[in-house]
Amino acid sequence: MVAKGDLLYVSAADAAMLEKGESGGAVSALLKYALESGTVDAVLAVKKGYDLYESRPAVITDPEEIAETAGSLHCGTLLVPKLIKKFLDGARNKKIAVTLKGCDAKAMYELAKRNQINLDNVYMIGLNCGGSISPVAARKMIEQKFGLDPDDIVKEEIDKGECTVITKDGEHKSVKIDELEEEGYGRRTNCQRCKTKIPRQCDLACGNWGVVEGKSGKVTFIEVCSEKGAELINGAAGKKAVTSEKADPKGVEVRKSIEKSMLELSDKRTSEQFAALGEGRERLEFIMAETSRCIKCYQCIENCPICYCVECSTKKPHLVTPGQLPPPFIFHLIRYTHIADSCINCGQCEELCAMDIPNALYMHSLQMEMQEMFGYEPGVNLDLPVLALVEEPAERKRLSDTGDDQIFNIFGDKE
Ligand code: FAD
Ligand code: SF4
Ligand code: SF4
Ligand code: SF4
Ligand code: SF4
């Protein structure tokens, strides 16, 4: 029997699923089993859109549709937890299984600790993540750096420190990630700084690191991170949906060393990127200059997993003068003060900014300073944030009595 803590090679038993899957098709097989067995009511997965540069969230209830989501989308920069809060009622009344990268997993935790998602009803299927590439940047990179037509690419992979693309004519071309990043291509800058490469917050952490020669493409390396994850694999194995064996000890060592070198690279990139921001007043002036391009499209707020207040302070006229573009700097300061302690560096506020303002970089740099000061690291566990007014009994009662979910309501009802 599989138990929490096990390190496994798992494969889809169904040959077509194994073939379609990115590694061993285990994730797809487990999702399909979860639906067929009634373990969950629905699956929230990510599938290819118009082309491989577009990823779409998919809510699936028919097990036969799971196969459509197999495979990894490295230009899939979606963050799904806020969709669970917004469109699936925070999984309050339905059991769901969802695939999550590290940033998704951290967002799940931050929303769960604020009572916006019910983790008891969620099977968190984590995917190891070396990074994702913005669709526009990916197309530019393929054209300029690989010398290929982006529309001819049928598959992209990030493995062993290289980015590889395959054309419809079967041509393979690889370039080292380091080289790409030195020249301003490659992974999103927040991904370069990210230190959640194996999302152990999830019930299962699935990937291809540590799959030894000969098993590549035939198994998925799974770290079993919870009892719930172990039960899912045991149930699926019992119904012959997956097969599993202990991971090869050599593979376990390789995975450990890849994770270590990825984390060291993240530290290096973080230092470089934060240093380029300057210090103190210089940093503030830099941020003020960059944010002066803001057109107040609200995408940073709309897509941030920590921003979900019913009445956002940035829309209060006594705080932010309406009808003024660019908005006064207080517009950004409000977000910095409300979010900085809990920013999980998911990159959404930068990825979706209409004016390409590097919002995540500022927010992450603030968060790291707060983490140093107060010791609070967002997204790693269910500890409450520094500004958790919601935990004060009076605030809790107000939230419960009014149904409000603005947890930092320091202005009361004043308009
Ligand atoms: P499959 O059966 O093919 O199922 C894949 C599942 O992933 C599908 O359900 C699909 O909904 C979901 N999915 C696809 N793209 C996304 C996305 N962008 N966001 C959320 N869900 C998605 N593993 C490593 O060991 N090292 C890495 O560096 C690494 N980097 C990755 C980067 C990204 C952006 C992604 C999405 C995955 C990465 N993985 C990495 C995980 C790996 O590619 C496989 O997803 C994993 O091994 C599971 O394989 P499988 O055959 O069992 O999955
Ligand atoms: Fe992956 Fe981290 Fe980037 Fe999220 S922020 S896509 S987990 S590297
Ligand atoms: Fe993600 Fe930006 Fe919100 Fe931080 S501030 S959690 S990077 S959207
Ligand atoms: Fe985000 Fe603050 Fe607005 Fe709430 S009030 S949505 S935390 S900026
Ligand atoms: Fe301004 Fe960008 Fe936020 Fe839009 S997403 S409000 S342009 S900072």
Q: Give the residue-averaged pLDDT of 276-302.
A: 95
Question: In a mutational test of the pocket of ligand 4, which residue from 339, 363, 405 has the highest number of ligand atoms less than 8 Å from its CB?
Answer: 339
Name the residue with the closest Cα to ligand 2, atom 7.
102
CA of 248 to the centre of ligand 5 (A): 48
Counting residues of the chain whose pLDDT is more than 70, the rounded percentage is 94
The reported pLDDT for the residue numbered 105 is 98
Q: Look over the chain and give the mean of its residue pLDDT values, rounded to a whole number.
A: 92
| Alpha carbon nearest to ligand 4 atom 7, residue | 307
Which residue, judged by its Cα, is nearest atom 2 of ligand 5? 353
- CA of 336 from ligand 1 middle (Å) equals 32
What is the rounded average pLDDT of the residues 213-217? 93
Q: Which residues line ligand 1 (CB under 6 A)?
A: 21-28, 31, 45-46, 55, 69-74, 76, 99, 101, 127-130, 132, 158, 206-209, 220
Instruction: Pick the closest to residue 316 from 235, 410, 214, 382 (CA basis).
Output: 410
Closest atom of ligand 1 to 55 CA is 18
Full-model pTM: 0.93
Give yes or no for residue 154 having a pLDDT over 50: yes
Distance of CA 322 to the CA centre of its chain: 33
Ligand nearest to the CA of 196: 2
If one counts every other C-beta atom within 10 angstroms of the C-beta of residue 257, the result is: 12
Which atom in ligand 3 lies closest to the alpha carbon of residue 335?
Answer: 5
User: Per residue in 33-68, pLDDT tens?
Assistant: 999 999 999 999 999 999 989 999 999 999 999 999
Which tens digits make up the pLDDT trace of 16-29?
A: 999 999 999 999 99
Task: For residue 225, name the pLDDT band (cuts at 50, 70, 90).
Answer: very high
Distant-in-sequence, close-in-space partners of 358: CB < 8 Å, separation ≥ 6: 189, 290, 350
